[in-house]
Structure formats: structure tokens, C-alpha cells
């Protein structure tokens, strides 16, 4: 794609970026070449803006390894080993590597992000499609994903964790913000959030499910230890914990919100070590014996 003065000006660029384009490229140039030149000149924000305006391409950047201050590529980035970037690594389409991905500020892809080791961002992690890591996923601020998020180890976020699809971790899932998941949440260890947890389907954890606000899911809750919330606990079907089920002070435990009353004994069972003191709805099926 060739960029021209008229083409770029129609997108209402900032004055500084437009002057740079006129001065350094005579008001024209190949799309990716301009992105590369902006990054080389330290104008990473302008490069990301340009990619936002003109969108992805079908180009593929194939490398053995990638180390740089920043990378903004309009197509797909494929790296055999690992990616190590001081600030931003961004692709218009996918980022795929057989090793890990580390960025000091942002990791972002219009489609999928796939790594054969860890994914670690000092800022945000964003993907229009799926995010998958053979090891763990760690982002200092937000994690936003338009597809599924899967990691064989922990998934950690410093702020909100928002996933349109499923959220699966072999170990713990934790965030200092909220967890909002369009489908189901499954963790081999704990699921913890400092704010609310909301899942469109069910939540299953090998350890404790705990949040600092309301806990809600469209299907059922299953925990290998406790289920605790500082707010209300709401489940479309049943809730089962090997430990206790406990809502916050002044709040209730609501099971069976999506189930007919005459089916509560089958589809809205509440099982825990002791009957929740705040149980408002659902069928109490008795306690489990402590191990």
C-alpha cells in the first residue's frame, strides 16, 4: 500500500506527525516502510495511530529472534525463538513465536497471540483473537482479549482482565482488578480478583474462588476449597465447594437463578462444608465432610 499526502491528511493526523511525513517522506511512501521509519525515529505512538487508521495487511515478518526498542508491523509477526522488546510490540494481524514474548509497555495484535513460553507485558496485553501461552501470562495493567485466553501456568493481571471467550489456566488466575469473561473460567488453582468476577458460563477452580465485590456466573460454581465474595454470590445453576461458601456482610448467596423451581434439587444444588448463613435461593444438598 502506498501512502500519499491526501490519503494521510484525510485521517486528520496530528500536526507533528503530518509535518514529519511531509518532511521525511515527501508526502508519500510504502505503508510498512513508513511504519518502520516512524518507529526508528522514536515516534511509536504515531506508528500505532497509522496502523489504527489503515488497518492490517497480509504481509508476514519471519525472523529467527526479535530484539528491539519497539516493533509495529501491519501484518503477522512470526519468530522462531523469542521476542524481547523494550516498549511496544504490535501486529496488525497475529504474533506467533516458539519462545516467549516480553515487552516493557504493550503487547498488541489484531488477531491471535501465541507463545511457546511466557507472555509478559509491563503494560497492557490486547488481542482481537485468542491468547495462548505454553507457560504463563503476566501483564502489569489490563488484559483484553476478543477470543479465548489459555495458559498452562498462571494468568495474572495488574488491572482488569476482560475475555470474550473462555479463560483457562493450568494454575492460578489472579487480578488486582475485575474478571469479566464472556464464556467459562477454569483454573487448576485459585481464581482471585480484587474486584468483581463475572462469567457468562461456569467457573471451576481447583482451589478457592474469591473476589472483592460481587461474584456471578451464568451456570454453576465449583471450587476445590472455598467460594468467597465481599458482595453477593449469584449462580445461574448450582454452587459446590469443598470448604465454605460465604458472601459479604449484608449480601446473599443466590443459586438456581436460571433454573425452574421444580428443578432446583437437580440443577441448583448447593454443597459446602456447612450451610451458607446467607443462602437465599437454591437447593441445600447437605455438607461435605472435611478431609
Tell me how far apart the alpha carbons of residues 126 and 108 are, in angstroms, rounded to a whole number. Answer: 5
How many Å apart are CA 81 and CA 78, to the nearest integer?
A: 9
Question: Tell me, what's the pLDDT at 169?
Answer: 98
Residue 188, φ and ψ in degrees, nearest 5: -70, -25
In eight-state DSSP terms, residue 262 is G
**Does 10 map to a domain?**
no
Q: What is the pLDDT of residues 202-218, one digit of tens each?
A: 999 999 999 999 999 99
Cell of 237: 445453576
pLDDT reading at 291 higher than 60: no
**Does 241 lie in the same domain as 115?**
no
Predicted local distance difference test score (pLDDT) of residue 166? 98
- Asked if residue 240 and residue 148 are part of one domain, the reply reads no
**Position 17 pLDDT exceeds 70:** no
Domain-ending residue, one of 153, 186, 203? 153
- Look up the domain containing 64 and give its range: 56-153
Find, among 186, 132, 138, 184, the residue nearest to 159 by Cα: 138
Residue 78 sits in the same domain as residue 176: no
164 and 291 in a common domain = yes
pLDDT at position 11, please?
Answer: 63
- Structural domain includes residue 13: no
pLDDT at 136 exceeding the cut of 90: yes
Mean pLDDT of 94-120: 98
In a domain, 84, yes or no: yes
- Rounded-to-integer distance, Cα 219 and Cα 215, Å: 12
Q: Assess whether 70 and 104 both reside in one domain.
A: yes
- At residue 3, the pLDDT reads 62
Residues 178 and 236 occupy one common structural domain: yes
pLDDT on residue 125: 98
pLDDT tens digits, 188-206: 999 999 999 999 999 999 9
- Percent pLDDT > 70 in the chain is 90
Residue 10: pLDDT band with limits 50, 70, 90? low
Give the DSSP letter of residue 224: S
H helix intervals, 44-172: 44-54
| 165, part of any domain | yes
- State whether 188 and 289 are in the same domain: yes
133 lies in the same domain as 165: no
Residue 290 pLDDT > 80, yes or no?
Answer: no
Least reliable range by pLDDT among 32-41, 135-144, 184-193: 32-41
pLDDT in tens, 205-252: 999 999 999 999 999 999 999 999 999 999 999 999 999 999 999 999
Tell me if 41 is assigned to some domain.
Answer: no
Listed residues 153, 172, 202: the one ending a domain: 153
Predicted confidence band of residue 258 (pLDDT cuts 50, 70, 90): very high
Provide the number of structural domains found in the chain.
2
Assigned C-alpha cell, 122: 509491563
Give the sign of the dihedral formed by CA 30, CA 36, CA 41, CA 43.
positive
pLDDT above 90 coverage of the chain, percent: 85
Looking at the fold, whether 226 and 120 belong to one and the same domain comes out as: no
Grid cell in block for residue 68: 528491539
Residues 275 and 165 in one domain: yes
Mean pLDDT within 8-34: 68
178 and 137 fall within a common domain: no
Tell whether 44 is covered by a domain.
no
Give the pLDDT score at 6. Answer: 59
Contact 123, 144 (CB under 8 A): no
Residues 75 and 105 in one domain: yes
Question: Does 32 reside within a domain?
Answer: no
**What is residue 30's predicted lDDT score, i.e. its pLDDT?**
83
Tell which phi-psi region holds residue 53, choosing left (phi > 0), alpha (psi between -120 and 50) or beta: alpha
Q: Determine contact, residues 240/223, Cβ cutoff 8 Å.
A: yes
- pLDDT bucket at 14, cuts 50 / 70 / 90: low
Q: Is residue 141 part of a domain?
A: yes
The residue among 124, 153, 182 that closes a domain is 153
| pLDDT at residue number 29 | 72
Q: Helices (H), strands (E): how many in the chain?
A: 5, 38
Amino acid at each position: 500500500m502506498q501512502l500519499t499526502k491526501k490519503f494521510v491528511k484525510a485521517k486528520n493526523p496530528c500536526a507533528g506527525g503530518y509535518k514529519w511525513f511531509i518532511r521525511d517522506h515527501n508526502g508519500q511512501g510504502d505503508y510498512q516502510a513508513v511504519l518502520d521509519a516512524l518507529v526508528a525515529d522514536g515516534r511509536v505512538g504515531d506508528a500505532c495511530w497509522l496502523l489504527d487508521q489503515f488497518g492490517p495487511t497480509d504481509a508476514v515478518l519471519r525472523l529467527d529472534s526479535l530484539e528491539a526498542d519497539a516493533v509495529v508491523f501491519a501484518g503477522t509477526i512470526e519468530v522462531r525463538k523469542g521476542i524481547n522488546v523494550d516498549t511496544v510490540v504490535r501486529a496488525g494481524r497475529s504474533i506467533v513465536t516458539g519462545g516467549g514474548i516480553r515487552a516493557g509497555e504493550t503487547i498488541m495484535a489484531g488477531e491471535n497471540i501465541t507463545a511457546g513460553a511466557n507472555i509478559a507485558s509491563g503494560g497492557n496485553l490486547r488481542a482481537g483473537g485468542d491468547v495462548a501461552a505454553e507457560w504463563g501470562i503476566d501483564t502489569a495493567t489490563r488484559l483484553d482479549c476478543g477470543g479465548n485466553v489459555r495458559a498452562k501456568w498462571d494468568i495474572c493481571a495488574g488491572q482488569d482482565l476482560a475475555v470474550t471467550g473462555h479463560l483457562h489456566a493450568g494454575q492460578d488466575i489472579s487480578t488486582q482488578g475485575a474478571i469479566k469473561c464472556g464464556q467459562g473460567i477454569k483454573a487448576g488453582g485459585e481464581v482471585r480478583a480484587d474486584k468483581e468476577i463475572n462469567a457468562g458460563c461456569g467457573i471451576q477452580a481447583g482451589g478457592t474462588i474469591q473476589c472483592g465485590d460481587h461474584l456471578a456466573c451464568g451456570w454453576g460454581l465449583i471450587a476445590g476449597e472455598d467460594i468467597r465474595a465481599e458482595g453477593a454470590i449469584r449462580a445461574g445453576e448450582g454452587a459446590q465447594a469443598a470448604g465454605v461458601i460465604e458472601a459479604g456482610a449484608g449480601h446473599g448467596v443466590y443459586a438456581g437463578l436460571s433454573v425452574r423451581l421444580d428443578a432446583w434439587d437437580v440443577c441448583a444444588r448447593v454443597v459446602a462444608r456447612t450451610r451458607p448463613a446467607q443462602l437465599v435461593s437454591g437447593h441445600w444438598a447437605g455438607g461435605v465432610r472435611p478431609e
